[in-house]
Amino acid sequence: MAEHRANRIQGETEELRTALEQSERSRKVAEQELMDTTKRVQLLYTQVAHIAGLYTFLILQKHRVITNNNSRIFSYPFPGQRIRDSRATSLSLSFVEHHPYEYKEEAGN
């Protein structure tokens, strides 16, 4: 009877050891997935920060172009030509700023 009980306890111990090993493997896989996901999030954050910097750069460039355009308005020989050129430049830059995705689609066609 004692031998039968000892065998049963040994079998249960082996089952518990197997379950513990499987749990440990699952934990290691989950840790690796967490590390991989953290790296991907950091990469995405870096890319978003870079895009935000490019957007700021483009807005500054737009303002420089407008300022440069405004300073050249008075160099045209005819007032009507100055007004037309100024309006065309301002409208196109304004459209790009407020509708960047639509502009990309139109530019691709």
Average pLDDT, the chain: 82
In tens, the pLDDT along 9-51 reads 999 999 999 999 999 999 999 999 999 999 999 999 999 999 9
Residue 109 is predicted with a pLDDT of 47
Q: Looking at the whole model, is its pTM more than 0.85?
A: no
Q: Residue 38's CB: how many other CB atoms inside 10 A?
A: 10
CA–CA dist 32, 53 (Å, integer):
32
Determine the Cα–Cα distance for residues 62 and 65; give it in Å rounded to an integer.
5
More confident residue, 47 or 4: 47
23 vs 7, which has greater pLDDT? Answer: 23
Structure tokens at 34: 């967490």
